[in-house]
């Protein structure tokens, strides 16, 4: 982020965006879209975040496109956050960790998004594998979708919200690491004053992946008000706000540079 600017660009090849680019909703369209984004941005943005579901829907051929995108992005110097939101228990969680957090896997990524809502302890296989491999996790804490509130804002017996509990667990995992630990949280940029009402502590020693900028309504200017003193640890994430400028590689690069500049003015 210091070298390339505080920006994460999603790679979200959903059907409507493929159509906007004049591409078919098929494996050829998926491959053309993904290669264009990677070739245009991987040597200049800090983070690329492929959404696994948009590749999985094409079966094994789509996953093969995802594997190439991960490898080529990392070779070009971008960090890759795999947006797969995995969450399970025991050997199944360990298998997900093997898929995304084992350096020998073709899907090995610098970080993986995971869900803690089977209990934070269910993430232990992924936490351990990430720590051993030198990569990280972004754990869903306060997401930008309105439906998330019914779980994340719920108050536990001791008066602490579920989201605050997740953040406290992350603080414990990151304890003693400097400048930041490897375990971050997903906290939506659309939440406005909600965070103060929930009594959460965002200074948990890890990065904060912040979706919701652009199409969901948040702007770079909203970040200081949402994240307060923790704004310097925010990795703003934007997808359609950059991708809609394709298929021109030059236009994608210009849009990413513009967004990174806006983010740098507020995330400091």
Consecutive H or E run containing 30 = helix 27-41
Between CA 251 and CA 125 the distance in angstroms is 41
Q: Which is it for the CA torsion 220, 221, 226, 230, positive or negative?
A: positive
Between CA 144 and CA 210 the distance in angstroms is 8
Angle at the Cα of 191 from the Cα atoms of 190 and 195, rounded to 5 degrees: 155
Residues identified as active-site: 85
SS3 223: helix
SS3 212: coil
**28: burial class by Cβ within 10 Å (0-12, 13-18, 19+)?**
exposed
Any idea how long the chain is? 268
């Amino acid at each position: 982020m210091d070298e390339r600017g505080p920006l994460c660009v999603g790679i979200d090849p959903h059907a409507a965006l493929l159509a906007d680019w004049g591409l078919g909703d098929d494996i050829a369209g998926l491959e053309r879209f993904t290669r264009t984004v990677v070739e245009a941005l991987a040597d200049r943005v800090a983070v690329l975040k492929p959404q696994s579901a948009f590749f999985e829907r094409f079966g094994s051929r789509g996953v093969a496109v995802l594997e190439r995108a991960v490898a080529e992005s990392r070779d070009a110097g971008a960090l890759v956050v795999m947006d797969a939101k995995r969450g399970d228990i025991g050997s199944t969680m360990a298998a997900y960790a093997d898929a995304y957090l084992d350096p020998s896997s073709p899907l090995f990524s610098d970080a993986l998004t995971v869900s803690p809502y089977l209990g934070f302890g269910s993430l232990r296989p992924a936490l351990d594998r990430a720590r051993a491999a030198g990569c990280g996790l972004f754990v869903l804490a306060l997401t930008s979708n309105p439906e998330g509130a019914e779980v994340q804002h719920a108050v536990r017996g001791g008066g602490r919200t579920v989201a605050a509990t997740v953040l406290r667990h992350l603080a414990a995992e990151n304890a003693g690491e400097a400048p930041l630990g490897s375990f971050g949280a997903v906290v939506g940029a659309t939440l406005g004053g909600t965070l103060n009402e929930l009594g959460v502590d965002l200074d948990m020693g890890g990065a904060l992946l912040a979706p919701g900028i652009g199409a969901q309504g948040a702007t770079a200017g909203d970040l200081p008000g949402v994240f307060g003193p923790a704004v310097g640890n925010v990795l703003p994430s934007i997808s359609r706000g950059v991708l809609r400028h394709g298929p021109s590689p030059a236009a994608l690069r210009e849009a990413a540079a513009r967004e990174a500049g806006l983010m740098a003015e507020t995330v400091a």
